[in-house]
Amino acid sequence: MSAEKFFNLVRSPLKFRLFLLSKLPSAFFSGVRVRYADEQKAVVTIPYKWFSTNPFRSTYFACLSMAAEMSTGILAMAHTYNEDPPVSMLVLKIEGKFSKKATGISTFTCDDGGMVKQVIREAAASGKGTVVTMRSVGVNKDGEIVAEFAITFSFKVKSNSV
């Protein structure tokens, strides 16, 4: 039920944009947007525009990384939202592979929600840290892959809760 409450916040354009502006201003100004999110899947876009461009007339790799991480992070945050006991999350590693210049809107999709939910439940039940690698694939408007990311998260019960 907590995940659904979290997704309701994410689906509210005003509330989520205020969150981005206050907590992730670079994502706000780059134009990162959550287009779809449920317990299994998240879809995030990043446009090619002045704030997200590089000198080679494509989307800056850091902006692509930001959108990919958000597609995985939204799922992770949803499944840790209001958990009892509270579970912390940390990005341990991010790996990217770039296949094509991103010159328009890039859409990143992660459908590892079920997997991350299970890992978070294991961390909460055992009190031990767990690690999971989630995958996000970015495509252009023609459906061609522009980048693929593997983002490794660590989850553990917050120390003041044990």
Q: pLDDT, tens digit, for every residue of 34-62?
A: 999 999 999 999 999 988 999 999 999 99
Which run of H or of E encompasses 120? helix 113-126
Name the percent of the chain lying above pLDDT 70: 98
User: Rounded CA gap, 44 and 110, in Å?
Assistant: 9
Q: Is 28 left (phi over 0), alpha (psi -120 to 50) or beta?
A: alpha
Q: Write the CATH number of the domain with boundaries 2-161.
A: 3.10.129.10
- Average pLDDT over the chain, rounded to an integer: 92
> Phi-psi bin for 31: left (phi > 0), alpha (psi -120 to 50), beta?
left
